Amino acid sequence: MAVTLSLFAGAGAQFFDNNGVPLAGGLIYTYAAGTTTPAVTYTSYTGLTLHTNPIVLDSAGRVPSGGEIWLLVGQSYKFIVKTSVNVLVAT
């Protein structure tokens, strides 16, 4: 299994709400592109440890577990970003 670093939320990405405030506790849902089927992501290049789905952002609006999202090579993804209270920020 080969994985690649996400261009959407690669190393050290930080997310903000629509007012420019770090998205503390924000949620990143990952789906197979064009569907509502959840898609797996990984915490590192080894592809051994799965992220939760949704990925819960830390208090600074960053991805936990090293700040990286790794994706399966050949899989197309859809990302949905919401606030901690499930308000849509971006798709």
**pTM for the full model?**
0.92
Q: Output the pLDDT for position 44.
A: 92
Cα torsion angle, 81, 14, 1, 75, sign: positive
Which mean pLDDT values do the consecutive 10-residue runs of the chain (91 residues) have?
A: 85 89 97 97 93 96 89 96 95 93
